[in-house]
Structure 1
Amino acid sequence: MQYLSDPIVQFVFLVAMLTVAHSALPRHKAVRFAVDVAFFATLTAVLLANGVAPYSAVVNASDLWHRLFYGLAKTIWWLGGAMMLVSCIRLFLIFERRPREARFVQDLIAGIIYVGAVLSVVAYVFSVPVGTLIATSGAFAIVLGFALQSSLSDVFSGIALNLGRPYRVGHWIILENGVQGRVIETNWRATHLSNAANDLVVIPNSALAKSQLVNLNSPDETHGITLSIRLAPTRPPAAMAQLLDTVMLASNHILRAPAPTVSIVNLSKEAIEFELAFRLGSISETLTAKNEIYDLVFRHAQAAGISLASDNTLVAPSLLQLATASEAPPETSSQLIKTLPLFLALTEKERETLSNAAVRRTYAKSAEILSQGERSSALMLVESGVVMVVRQEDGGDIELNRLSPGDFFGERGLLIGAEEPGRIVALTPVVTRQIGRDQLCEILRDRPALAEDIGLTLADRLEQERRLQGVGDMHAQHAQTLANRIRHLFQLPHSATA
């Protein structure tokens, strides 16, 4: 019992209990905080009970061992207090949904607390004037600061960027000097970007903090695009703007909300310039969407008999030219057939035969051309307008595709007797050219081997459609199987390899 009254024994016992508690108890912030508070309060009571004020440089001890013990105990007291405050910071200083910023602020405050504790130990344990120490180290800090000015600027800029968070890893940013790329890493000194050429771009944080930047992924993942289109002034601007509205309606990539817009930005005798503005679901779709829009502009303009503007146009078209252009028939069925991959193997004469047999059909806006599950008896080529394929599933409609001039549908019913995967609806007034079974049968009877080519093309298209619908575990039918079905439906002789 005599040993228990000795402050050295009490101190050693407290330190041992703290060590056991930190190693045995679960690593939870609340538990750690409670242990640190209990240790600090008990140690404070032990020191004060023995006449030792931890916040005073005076030590009343007769022998060397007790003087050393009190110095060590006061040091532990200051560090224990710092640990208690840091535990409190870790427990209560939290930024919801911003864990990285919260961790940074916690580390910064913890560092300040520990520096203060060390200075207090220097002042109250070793009796060294802190003011003199700071003044002496100040000159050295100034010299070191000048030597590390650039690095310190990067570090403090990194701190500001981490707190402000104008971007994060994975975002695409563009700087005012034209440098752009996707953020792949941020640290205290620099930010690493991966540009469009997949090259690494390292930008010092100090330069980044001073630069004006555009975050292409903020405030959300959608991304706006504007395209400039110039058309020859052969129609009234309003009619051309309506054509470009149809182009936007035909796209499979742009978002429907907010609605895309078409605006006239310039009008001259050489060209009418339009600006198309639309939104994408992600910046990664930019290239695909631009290519699609340019392709659709060309196809719809060609189908409507409108030419793209030429910078070499010097004379404005006359009223007679305008009238002639407005009355000019759209793309013929012969030109449409030439663009179809189904008939790439046909000769010019065979294409001409199909083109002469093609029947022109018109459909009003919102008209249903084919029903879901219907077996089409003709191959339908889109001459003008926009067609939408909609599948009814689980009580709702799922859009599968949008078709424009040069596209076709109904081939599965005509060629293999399969049902349509969805309802075919006219989004705008639509003109089609239809090739019936009898006309196609005449070509196939003259060239039975054409069934293999059509089967291969149709197999590729069916596989592509299933991928677009997100059906990953289904495979399109084999081309040879489709070729055999085509022969059976058209009563063609089977080849030796079939």
Structure 2
Amino acid sequence: MGHDVPLLPLIISLLGIAGIIAWHLQGRSRPTARLIVQIAFFAVMTAVLSFARASPFHYDPSGIDGASALLLLAKVLWWIHLAWAMIGFVRIYIVLDHRPREARLIQDLIVATVYLGVSLSIMAFVFGVPVGTLMATSGVIAIILGLALQNTLSDMFSGIALTLGRPYVIGDWISLTDGTEGRVVASNWRSTYLLTGAHNVVVLPNSVLAKLGLTNVSQPDENHQLTLPIRVAPTRMPRTIVEVMRDVLESSNVIVKQPSPYVVLTAIDASAVTVELQFRVTSPAQRGEARNEVIDLVYRHCKASGLELAMPPEAVVVSKDSVQMAEHPTPEALGLVEAVSTFAILNRDERISLAALATQRTFSAGAEIVRAGDVLTRLMIVRSGIVAMKTNNEEVARLAPGDFFGEQGLLAGLEETHTLQAVTRVVVYEIDKDAFAPLLIERPELAEDLAANLACRNRLGERRLTPTNTDDGRTSDLLKRIRSMFRLHRSHGEPARSRH
């Protein structure tokens, strides 16, 4: 190699060390500049090695002295710079648009392969290690380790497959065929973490997850369809039952209205007409709330329309008297009063008296029942139909049979905060303030229940608007006003009757 060899390996070693320092000084924020510097140092080192006629692909078995040690160091640094130059290309040019996680995984796999290849090359071409024998020995060791780490390796490769396939991302709600469901909160090469609806974290090995059927509820969005079967006694034509169930879905305030929910007749026999209510919610977390509301509305609309829920199939006894086909009368004021939970604190005689005070009014579809700013002096209970609550001509909620309004005018003389309009034909029962006042004085807790119902309805109306706490303040003021009004009545010598 000539008398220049001792000097040239020293130059190569110094260039390699200088390249490492320059590579670190560039930082991760400048990958292109770092790659250019790396290529420049690698090219100069290659040129010097070529000039010195020292091939990095050839092992020199000569003895170890100062010159040989420098040459070995120069070759090692050359291989390191080659690896870093290749990795620089990988980091910059292997990019998957809008899929940074998959791109990073592929980059890491290629980088690991580069480091493994360079390490074996250094061992073979610089230090003369018999790589073939080593690989044969390592193959036996790899088999032993593979058997010992079978589950771990299975989880790792399943994690790679799941990452590349991308059936879910962090934040998605997924449902598995074994019944497990939850939101993906973390994922690595070995396992995936789900936060369930019970607020528990379930850790699933990737190998198990890859074998199960998976439904991504969050794709393409989190709208989630629910199906609720209802059995109705065949005392009405199926068409009438469908219309009532449509009113049920139209009066809901929780379910999604676009796409429209729909009603499907699925079966009919001598004991029942079976319908399915199919509707969507905006997220899986709302399934329980939506089911509760729809079931409550089914009961109320059936009561208002004279429909009767059928017995479950296993409880039906087939006989000529098992099904009553007679027409059921429309519920009267007493039945409606008894169905309203607010009036549950009244005894039977008081509910009868209250129902006797009610007068019936009918509004056609589209009619305005009350306008925002008006003061109602009567309590209005919805007997049948759907009523829309509007603010600035925007619908914010709907009322169904059994709901009532007019409390703030009846109790405290306040203006209505929403415009109420009939969506369908609406029948209401009205109870005048003068007729209602004696009952409120005798049962002040009834007034507080009415005020609490008003607060709940106002929160429902404001849920689709900007969330504020102003309603809580109005409700608190209303309660104080009601209590002071009843104290004034009692201070004038009008004691309340004892409860029955």
Cα distance change, pair 478–210 in 1 and its aligned pair in 2 (3 A): closer
Gaps of 5+ in 2: 494-500
State the 1:301 CA deviation. 0.7
State the 1:457 CA deviation. 4.2
What is the letter of the counterpart of residue 387 of structure 1? Answer: V
State the 1:480 CA deviation. 7.0
1:312 equivalenced with 2:308 (yes/no): no
2:43 maps to: 41
State the 1:182 CA deviation. 3.7
TM-score of the aligned structures, taking structure 2 as reference length: 0.87
Gaps of 5+ in 1: none
2:214 maps to: 213
State the 1:180 CA deviation. 3.5
Local SS of the residue matching 1:127: coil
**Cα shift readout 1:159-198 (whole Å, capped 9, x = no counterpart):** 1112212223443333333344443433323333344545
1:354 maps to: 354
- 1:416–1:489: 8 Å Cα contact kept in structure 2? no
1:125 equivalenced with 2:126 (yes/no): yes
1:285 maps to: 286
Q: How does 1:19-38 map to 2 (within 5 A)?
A: 19-28=20-29, 29-38=31-40
2:497 maps to: none
State the 1:336 CA deviation. 2.7
**Cα shift readout 1:127-159 (whole Å, capped 9, x = no counterpart):** 334334323322222232223223222221121
State the 1:406 CA deviation. 0.8
Cα distance change, pair 414–193 in 1 and its aligned pair in 2 (3 A): same
Q: How does 1:170-209 map to 2 (within 5 A)?
A: 170-209=171-210
Cα distance change, pair 163–134 in 1 and its aligned pair in 2 (3 A): same
Local SS of the residue matching 2:192: strand
State the 1:309 CA deviation. 0.8
Local SS of the residue matching 2:383: strand
State the 1:108 CA deviation. 0.7
- 2:23–2:38: 8 Å Cα contact kept in structure 1? no
2:407 maps to: 411
Percent of aligned pairs with the same residue? Answer: 38
State the 1:485 CA deviation. 5.4
What is the letter of the counterpart of residue 434 of structure 2? Answer: D
- 1:415–1:489: 8 Å Cα contact kept in structure 2? no
Distance 2:410 2:352 in 1: 20
State the 1:254 CA deviation. 1.0
1:424 maps to: 420
State the 1:413 CA deviation. 2.1
State the 1:229 CA deviation. 0.8
- 2:194–2:203: 8 Å Cα contact kept in structure 1? yes
| Root-mean-square deviation over aligned CA pairs | 3.1
When structure 1 is superposed on structure 2, of 334-343 and 481-490 the one drifting more is: 481-490
- 1:377–1:410: 8 Å Cα contact kept in structure 2? yes
2:371 maps to: 371
**Cα shift readout 1:229-268 (whole Å, capped 9, x = no counterpart):** 1111111111101111111111111111111111111110
1:454 maps to: 447
Q: How does 1:86-485 map to 2 (within 5 A)?
A: 86-310=87-311, 311-315=315-319, 322=325, 324-325=327-328, 328-330=329-331, 332-340=332-340, 342-392=342-392, 397-444=393-440, 447=442, 450-451=443-444, 453-455=446-448, 457-459=450-452, 461-462=454-455, 465-466=458-459, 468=463, 469-474=465-470, 475-477=472-474, 479=476, 482-484=479-481
What is the letter of the counterpart of residue 454 of structure 2? Answer: R
What is the letter of the counterpart of residue 465 of structure 1? Answer: N
